[in-house]
Copies of this chain bind each other. A is one copy, B any other.
Amino acid sequence: MDIDYSGIKVIGFDADDTLWVNETYFREAEEKFADLLEHYETKNKVDQELFRMEMKNLELYGYGIKGFVLSMIESALELSNNNINQTTITKILNLGKEMISRPVELLDGVVEVLGKLEKQYRLIVLTKGDLLDQERKLEKSGLSKYFHHVEVLSDKQPENYQNLLDHLEIPVNEFLMIGNSLKSDVLPIVELGAQAIHVPFHTTWAHEEVPVEEQTNNHLTVGKLSDVLKYLN
């Protein structure tokens, strides 16, 4: 495994669950959603059906809170056989509004890491999801000043990354991506021939899980974000 980062000039950071907490809020919303449906199904069944609905709708809705809320409403109607109380629909809408309005909670070490790395590297944010939500979170985070460029992608397939590197004129051998998702932040980057550091978050959305046989050794995994400084300073 090549962990020689001497040629790296640009570092891309994922945002959700790399710079700030995100997945935890979805898990909390799912808990509340299951509570709202407890008269109809077990928590396990509700979780399973909501995930199935999200996957069914992913191509149409994409990533982000608004699509998640629409899938919760559709699941609630389906799981209750259209018996769900109308006020429960309002509660689901409010769950989404609360998620959108939450303050941004930075992960440990983020400010220290960005403050050190910005002196030697050009830093960019590469996140997927809802454009407005991500812009708002970056603004609330106070982290904008560390980044030369912020790009919200509709997805993180190799071609999304390649288009962006082309647009920003970044050679692949000068690029390093840091993120919590093997599927979105590491594997597509390794496929392009660039480098990636995986910083796992304690919670991973099932959609972002990668079967062991598809994992790769061509990247570094660290236990916490500040560990990257051991390799980049």
Could you tell me if A167 and B154 are in contact, using CB atoms closer than 8 angstroms? no
Could you give, for residues 97-108 of chain A, a 1 whenever the CB lies within 8 Å of some chain B CB and a 0 otherwise? 100110000000
Pick from B66, B87, B101, B154: contact of A67, CB under 8 Å: B66
Could you tell me if A86 and B87 are in contact, using CB atoms closer than 8 angstroms? no
Q: In this assembly, does A132 line the interface, its C-beta being within 8 Å of a C-beta of chain B?
A: yes
Q: In this assembly, does A130 line the interface, its C-beta being within 8 Å of a C-beta of chain B?
A: yes
Could you tell me if A74 and B90 are in contact, using CB atoms closer than 8 angstroms? yes
Pick from B70, B80, B83, B97: contact of A66, CB under 8 Å: B70
Could you tell me if A131 and B152 are in contact, using CB atoms closer than 8 angstroms? yes
Task: Give the Cβ gap from A100 to chain B, nearest Cβ, in Å.
Answer: 5
Q: How big is chain A's contact interface, by range?
A: 20 to 34
Could you tell me if B132 and A100 are in contact, using CB atoms closer than 8 angstroms? no
Could you tell me if B149 and A135 are in contact, using CB atoms closer than 8 angstroms? no
List residues 147-180 of chain A with CB under 8 A from any CB of chain B: 149, 152-154, 167
Could you tell me if B74 and A131 are in contact, using CB atoms closer than 8 angstroms? no
Could you tell me if B131 and A62 are in contact, using CB atoms closer than 8 angstroms? yes
CA distance A154 to B154 in the complex (A): 13
Q: In this assembly, does A61 line the interface, its C-beta being within 8 Å of a C-beta of chain B?
A: yes
**A63 nearest CB neighbor, chain B only:** B132
**A149 nearest CB neighbor, chain B only:** B167
**A64 nearest CB neighbor, chain B only:** B66
B residues near A93, Cβ cutoff 8 Å:
70, 73-74
B residues near A152, Cβ cutoff 8 Å:
131
B residues near A96, Cβ cutoff 8 Å:
70
CA distance A80 to B86 in the complex (A): 10
Q: In this assembly, does A117 line the interface, its C-beta being within 8 Å of a C-beta of chain B?
A: no
Q: In this assembly, does A186 line the interface, its C-beta being within 8 Å of a C-beta of chain B?
A: no
Could you tell me if B97 and A86 are in contact, using CB atoms closer than 8 angstroms? no
B residues near A154, Cβ cutoff 8 Å:
131-132, 135
CA distance A90 to B64 in the complex (A): 21
A77-B86, A77-B90 known; A61+B70 contact, CB < 8 A: no
7 A-B contact pairs sorted by A residue (CB < 8 Å): A61-B100, A62-B132, A66-B67, A70-B96, A77-B86, A83-B86, A149-B167
- Which 3 A-B pairs give the minimum distances between C-beta atoms? A62-B132, A66-B66, A82-B86
